[in-house]
């Protein structure tokens, strides 16, 4: 057999072997599971579960729960991550989670993760509703029937018929025929326990003729709060008996309206939008005299207080008391809680401010604050106008978003690992919602997860993947949703900036030339013992004893023409 025929037979045999290798099915890779998040889910609704690992078959992989062979739908997949959905209503049990590569093959590769728990949601017990509920139990006057020009006290007994305590109870008396004396028509009661009662007293006098009348109507508007800061208002209409007075026309004096001053807080605001424990802020109050008489020597007392007077109404020297106010949650800073505002003409107003600090031990909630305005009216009587405002205190999460290990170079068009972590820098546990990572220059993978509760100093990690579109700055935006202390949705937004580099090409290796016709580098064949001995003998006689080098020839051998088959002679 000639050399060409031998080479032809060898080429045919090699082609048959290569065709058998190419047509034989590829064996399934064995998947590997490194983590499942979350590993415990509820069956109340559909839950997305992220499976991390390696060697997952893209477009040819299945995920099942055993026992029961429950097939889980796959939402997204890659070779290192699978996102599957556990349907609502899945039976509560402790399962084994299986990842199956090429499930339709006779011998698929299976990786098992255990335990994977599905929990049922217990039925919440019915919530018992409760609230404070004030009603008028009785009312009376100290004179029986009232007369024109006669001052009297109207006493109303309020009863709490609700299930919770009523806080900061305040009653406002108004009437078309009667006018309040001294207190401005506002009576502050304080708190009334559930089932308890308290009296609201108001001194009043008739300002119109009571001729041909046997009674007058008085409206009592009551406002109060419950322990959660919810505001309630009630309105009661009282009928007060009067003595009808007849007058001789010539002797009837021209009535002059009652003149009195009354300071009211129209609006208030703080220079810090969100108050938190430890916040230093300035409270600004818009104060106006809505009465028809001047208020002299007005003193504002933050936290509540009073200006003392003698039994006959004469103000006492140094009689302003502001040290008995409530300062548990808010305390004055820089100045005391007492400020002199000067005189207020009828209709005049100004902006009063007080620098305060929120106590670091204050819990989130709505806190009422009492403000007292002590002054003298035009007759020299001491007046204390007391009002209540409400300040909201939050405790928002204080978190840091960064990388838990150094980031290597990022290349355009290549997958780049992002080891993100969220650290709770606050002093209390916080419950956070969904963490989402987005980019302005690339595609994200495994970029969303539920954070959950973080203890003080605790952390949460998210191993995301980014595929940058082009070199240059890469801006990552991290959004973390949560609900604040007043059940309002909020979002924490953090931004991280990275640099993306151009993909580097490997350097040219002259030992491996490219293109057709290139030659392989010289090969050194392996020597036997006798070959080494023969080279030693040649060296003794001064002959060439160098190690032979085999030249393999060109990378692409030239093909010889096929011989023309010889037809048999017949």
CATH 2.60.40.10 fits 32-119, yes or no: yes
Contact between 299 and 338 under an 8 Å Cβ cutoff? The reply is yes
Distances (CA, A) of 461 to 47, 315, 351, 399: 19, 67, 49, 13
CA distance 211 to 202: 24
Which residues fall within 8 angstroms of residue 64, CB to CB, at 6 or more apart?
70, 71, 72, 97, 98, 100
The per-residue pLDDT for range 332-359, each reduced to its tens digit, is 998 888 888 889 988 888 899 999 999 9
User: What's the pLDDT band for 503 if we cut at 50, 70, 90?
Assistant: confident
The per-residue pLDDT for range 367-425, each reduced to its tens digit, is 998 999 889 988 888 888 888 899 999 989 999 999 999 888 888 888 999 999 999 99
Say what the pLDDT of residue 249 is.
42
Looking at the chain, the domain(s) classified CATH 2.60.40.10 span 32-119, 134-246+260-393, 399-501
Using alpha carbons, select from 77, 70, 73 the residue that is nearest to residue 118. Answer: 70
CA distance 417 to 402: 14
Contact between 34 and 52 under an 8 Å Cβ cutoff? The reply is yes
| H/E element, 166 | strand 166-174
Which residues fall within 8 angstroms of residue 195, CB to CB, at 6 or more apart?
160, 161
CA distance 463 to 417: 7
CB atoms within 10 A of CB 213: 16
Q: Where are the beta strands (DSSP E) in 394-468?
A: 399-403, 410-411, 416-424, 430-439, 442-445, 448-454, 459-468
User: What's the pLDDT band for 8 if we cut at 50, 70, 90?
Assistant: low
Report the pLDDT averaged over residues 208-220.
79
Contact between 416 and 468 under an 8 Å Cβ cutoff? The reply is yes
Say what the pLDDT of residue 509 is.
59
User: What's the pLDDT band for 281 if we cut at 50, 70, 90?
Assistant: very high
Cis-peptide, bond into residue 391, ω within 30° of zero: no
Q: Which two tokens stand for residue 567?
A: 């037809």
How does DSSP classify residue 184?
T
Residue 446 clears pLDDT 70, i.e. is over it: yes
CA distance 52 to 84: 11
Q: What is the CA radius of gyration of the chain?
A: 45
Say what the pLDDT of residue 315 is.
43
How does DSSP classify residue 512?
S
Report the pLDDT averaged over residues 231-247.
78
Contact between 426 and 400 under an 8 Å Cβ cutoff? The reply is no
Top CATH class, 134-246+260-393: mainly beta
Assign 269 to helix, strand or coil: strand
| More reliable by pLDDT, 100 or 7 | 100
Say what the pLDDT of residue 520 is.
52
Paired strand residues for 474:
498
Residue 482 clears pLDDT 90, i.e. is over it: yes
The 3 state secondary structure assigned to 360-389 is: CCCCCEEEEEEEEEEEECCCCCEEEEEEEE
Q: In what order do the strands lie in the sheet with 32-37?
A: 32-37, 47-54, 81-86, 74-77
Using alpha carbons, select from 122, 120, 72 the residue that is nearest to residue 96. Answer: 72
* 69-83, 102-116, 305-319, 408-422: the lowest-pLDDT one: 305-319
User: What's the pLDDT band for 508 if we cut at 50, 70, 90?
Assistant: low
Say what the pLDDT of residue 7 is.
58
CA distance 486 to 392: 9
Contact between 191 and 145 under an 8 Å Cβ cutoff? The reply is no
Say what the pLDDT of residue 23 is.
45
Q: Which two tokens stand for residue 283?
A: 């409270």
Say what the pLDDT of residue 252 is.
47
The per-residue pLDDT for range 322-339, each reduced to its tens digit, is 667 778 889 899 888 888
User: What's the pLDDT band for 227 if we cut at 50, 70, 90?
Assistant: confident
User: What's the pLDDT band for 428 if we cut at 50, 70, 90?
Assistant: confident
Give me the chain's average pLDDT, please. Answer: 81
Dihedral pair phi/psi, residue 468, rounded to 5°: -65, 145
CA distance 381 to 278: 40
Residue 370 CA to its chain's centroid (Å): 31
How does DSSP classify residue 246?
-
Report the pLDDT averaged over residues 515-529.
60
CATH 2.60.40.10 fits 399-501, yes or no: yes
| H/E element, 249 | none
Cis-peptide, bond into residue 21, ω within 30° of zero: no
Residue 20 clears pLDDT 60, i.e. is over it: no
Residue 103 clears pLDDT 50, i.e. is over it: yes
């Amino acid at each position: 057999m000639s050399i060409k025929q031998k080479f032809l037979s060898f080429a045919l045999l090699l082609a048959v072997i290569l065709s058998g290798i190419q047509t034989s099915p590829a064996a399934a890779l064995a998947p590997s599971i490194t983590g499942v998040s979350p590993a415990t889910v509820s069956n109340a609704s559909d839950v997305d579960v992220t499976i991390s690992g390696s060697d997952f078959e893209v477009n040819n992989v299945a995920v099942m729960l055993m026992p029961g062979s429950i097939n889980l739908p796959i939402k997204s997949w890659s070779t290192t991550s699978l996102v599957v959905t556990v349907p609502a209503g899945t039976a509560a049990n402790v399962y084994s989670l299986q990842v199956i590569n090429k499930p339709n093959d006779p011998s698929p590769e299976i990786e098992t993760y255990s335990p994977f728990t599905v929990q049922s949601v217990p039925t919440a017990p019915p919530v018992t509703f409760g609230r404070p509920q004030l009603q008028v139990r009785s009312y009376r006057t100290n004179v029986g029937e009232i007369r024109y020009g006669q001052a009297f006290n109207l006493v109303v007994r309020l009863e709490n018929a609700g299930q919770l305590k009523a806080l900061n109870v305040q009653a406002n008396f108004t009437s078309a025929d009667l006018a309040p004396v001294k207190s401005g028509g506002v009576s502050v009661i304080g708190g009334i326990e559930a089932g308890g009662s308290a009296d609201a007293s108001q001194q009043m006098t008739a300002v119109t003729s009571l001729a041909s009348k046997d009674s007058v109507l008085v409206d009592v508007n009551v406002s109060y709060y419950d322990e959660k800061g919810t505001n309630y208002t009630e309105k009661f209409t009282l009928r007060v008996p009067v003595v009808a007075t007849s007058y001789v026309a010539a002797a009837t004096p021209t009535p002059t309206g009652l003149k009195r001053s009354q300071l009211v807080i129209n609006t208030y605001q703080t220079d810090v939008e969100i108050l938190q424990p430890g916040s230093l802020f300035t409270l600004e109050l818009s104060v106006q005299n809505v009465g028809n008489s001047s208020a002299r020597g007005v003193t504002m007392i933050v936290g509540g207080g009073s200006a003392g007077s003698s039994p006959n109404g004469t103000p006492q020297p140094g009689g302003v008391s502001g040290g008995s106010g409530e300062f548990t949650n808010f305390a004055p800073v820089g100045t005391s809680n007492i400020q002199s505002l000067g005189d207020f003409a009828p209709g005049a107003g100004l902006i009063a401010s007080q620098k305060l600090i929120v106590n670091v031990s204050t819990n989130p909630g709505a806190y009422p604050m009492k403000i007292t305005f002590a002054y003298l009216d035009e007759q020299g009587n001491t007046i204390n106008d007391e009002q209540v405002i409400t300040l909201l205190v939050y405790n928002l999460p204080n978190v840091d978003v960064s990388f838990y290990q150094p980031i290597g170079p990022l290349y355009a068009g290549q997958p780049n690992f992002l080891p993100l972590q969220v650290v709770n820098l606050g002093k209390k546990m916080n419950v956070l919602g969904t963490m989402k990572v987005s980019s302005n220059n690339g595609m994200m993978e495994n970029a969303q997860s539920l954070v959950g509760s973080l203890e003080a100093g605790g952390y949460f990690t998210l191993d995301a993947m980014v595929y940058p579109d082009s070199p240059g700055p890469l801006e990552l935006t991290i959004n973390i949703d949560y609900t604040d202390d007043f059940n309002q949705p909020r979002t924490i937004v953090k931004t991280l900036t990275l640099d993306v580099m151009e993909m580097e090409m490997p350097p040219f290796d002259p030992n491996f030339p490219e293109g057709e016709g290139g030659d392989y580098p010289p090969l050194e064949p392996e020597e036997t013992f006798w070959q080494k001995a023969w080279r030693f003998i040649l060296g003794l006689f001064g002959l060439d004893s160098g190690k032979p080098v085999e030249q393999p020839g060109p990378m692409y051998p030239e093909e010889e023409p096929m011989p023309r088959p010889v037809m048999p002679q017949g």
